[in-house]
Homo-oligomer: A and B are copies of this chain.
Amino acid sequence: VAAPAKTSTAAVVAAARAILEADGPSGVTMQAVAAAVGIRGPSLYKRFPDRLAILSEIEFLVLAEIADILARAAATAASPRGRIEAMARAHRDYATANPQSYALIYSPGSVNDEAHLAARIAAIRPVLAAMTGLAGAERALTATRTVTAWLHGFVSIEQAGLFRLGGDIDATFDEGLATLLDGIAARGGA
């Protein structure tokens, strides 16, 4: 006669993600997550080996969301450059709407195994495809890395509150992106 399950793996991950976004990583304690799904801390170990495993599942969730919003953004424009611009804005908007989730997947403690790598590659695929159209197949990977680095750095600095010398940050974003894409296009197209 088995005891009935009070919750599920998916419900635990969803609850943990909500706590992360509301209270930051230090708020994601085993007790808090357990309480959010109506059980006690130790019971979580029936479903996850440890706390890191829960954060790891949140990373999958977030990477899938980013893959989705980037693919949708790419579909809103026809030209390679227009697609990259749309994805860059979507990336920044996602980070603004989900700052803690975004910070998690780039944090030093983020999980870096094969499964997460595959999820990251899947998320970047539409950027790589558009960049192939803009810069050619041979230069697509390097150009994608350049745009991705700038994008992550910009969002990361913005969210840390470190743009503090004034100026219009939205305009800085647009101009930085244009500068980058001009430079990439100037180096020889497809």
- In the complex, chain B residues whose CB is within 8 Å of the CB of A163: 145
Which residue numbers of A lie inside 8 Å of B, CB to CB? 24, 103, 106, 108, 110, 112, 117, 120-121, 141-143, 145-146, 148-154, 156-157, 159-167, 171-172, 175-176, 179-184, 186-187
- In the complex, chain B residues whose CB is within 8 Å of the CB of A141: 165-167
Number of copies of this chain that the complex holds: 2
Q: How many angstroms from the CA of A183 to the CA of B184 in the assembled complex?
A: 8
| A188 CB to nearest B CB, Å | 11
* Contact B176 A149, beta carbon cutoff 8 Å: yes
* Contact B146 A176, beta carbon cutoff 8 Å: yes
* Contact B164 A117, beta carbon cutoff 8 Å: yes
* Contact B153 A148, beta carbon cutoff 8 Å: yes
| A171 CB to nearest B CB, Å | 8
- In the complex, chain B residues whose CB is within 8 Å of the CB of A110: 160
| A182 CB to nearest B CB, Å | 5
Can you add 14 more A-B contacts, CB < 8 Å, to A108-B159, A120-B162, A142-B176? A103-B108, A106-B160, A110-B160, A112-B162, A141-B166, A142-B175, A145-B154, A146-B150, A146-B179, A149-B157, A152-B156, A182-B186, A183-B183, A183-B186
| A184 CB to nearest B CB, Å | 6
| A175 CB to nearest B CB, Å | 5
- In the complex, chain B residues whose CB is within 8 Å of the CB of A112: 160-162
